[in-house]
Amino acid sequence: MLTLFATKKTQTHKSHIMNLVQLAKADGKISKSESGLLIKIGERNGVSAEEVFEMVDASDDFFYKKPETDEQRFDQLYDLVEMMRIDGEVSPKEVAYTIGIAEKMGIRKAVAWILIQSIVEGQSLGKSRKALKHKAAEYLFI
């Protein structure tokens, strides 16, 4: 999991994956689509499928590594929203968890709501991640 000797970048990536795992678990089950997305995001961040499965089986307690840049904050929030929506069912627990993580990242609650709604709307309209990141920049400079 998050080891003492891991680089800051590795710790940040694994913390992000663990946040996604916790979100996927929020409704009491991890669907096949959620598992697939976890693996996809893990691999994109240098975390193997095996490590992702270890995280799924791990304790609910983990070390949270706050993202250091606005770009990292957006990317993590985007992934959380994607995970929240992947199975077609968005539970109140998933929304509350996503807002809570956004606040841990240093994003005010009201701003988090705006960003989440913007990402959901943009994903629904097929807007690219890059376009949504550009739009979110005005909100993330906190």
Q: How confident is the model at residue 12 (pLDDT cuts 50, 70, 90)?
A: confident
Domain count, the chain: 1
- Cα-Cα-Cα-Cα dihedral of 13, 71, 87, 99, to 10°? 100
Establish if 2 belongs to a structural domain. Answer: no
Q: Which domain covers residue 45, as residue numbers?
A: 8-140
CATH number of the domain within which 125 lies: 1.10.3680
Establish if 60 belongs to a structural domain. Answer: yes
pTM score > 0.75 for this model? yes
Mean pLDDT (the chain) is 86
Mean of pLDDT values over 69-84: 92
Q: Which amino acid does the sequence have at 132?
A: L
